[in-house]
Amino acid sequence: MPASWTQNYYQLVFSTKHREPVITTDMAERLYPFLGGIAKDIGCQLIAVNGMPDHLHLLVRFAPDVPPAVMAREVKARSSRWIRGTFTREFAWQRGYGGFTVSRSALDDVETYIRRQAEHHRTMSFQQEFLSLLRRHGVEFDERYVFE
């Protein structure tokens, strides 16, 4: 077969180091398009991005030759360098991330969920949300080590 046709969708979730609330509205307004540029540069398409001062959610369609771990590494590394050069030298993302495959039939729901982060976090912390995502997707984990 001379080509590959895929629909690989992924929800990527990660927080700032120590879940510090450092992502300001001004930073987010410039960061979100920058993340779209990173995705495009590595052959992916950013469908939705949103977050809170301490974490981000991205919905990405990724190319068949880009492993999710590479996508996460590139997004975090490049955006971290950009934030340190543009806003504050005292910035870092957490080690690791949450990554969840998304079926085509669930795209609209996941996109809506991501766009409504502020509303959602009126009643739930990032830690509660992240543990809920892990459980909902059947990811095995030891809660003692999730937020190290």
Q: What is the pTM of this model?
A: 0.92
The rounded percent of the chain whose pLDDT value lies above 70 is 99
pLDDT at residue 131 tops 90? yes
Rounded Cα distance, 112 and 29, in Å = 19
Residue 98 main-chain phi, psi, to 5 deg: -105, 135
Q: What percent of the chain has pLDDT over 90?
A: 86
Residue 36 in tokens: 């779209």
4, 22, 63 from 16: Cα distances, Å = 35, 8, 26
Whether residue 3 is predicted with pLDDT greater than 90 in this model: the reply is no
How many other CB atoms are found less than 10 A from the CB of residue 101? 11
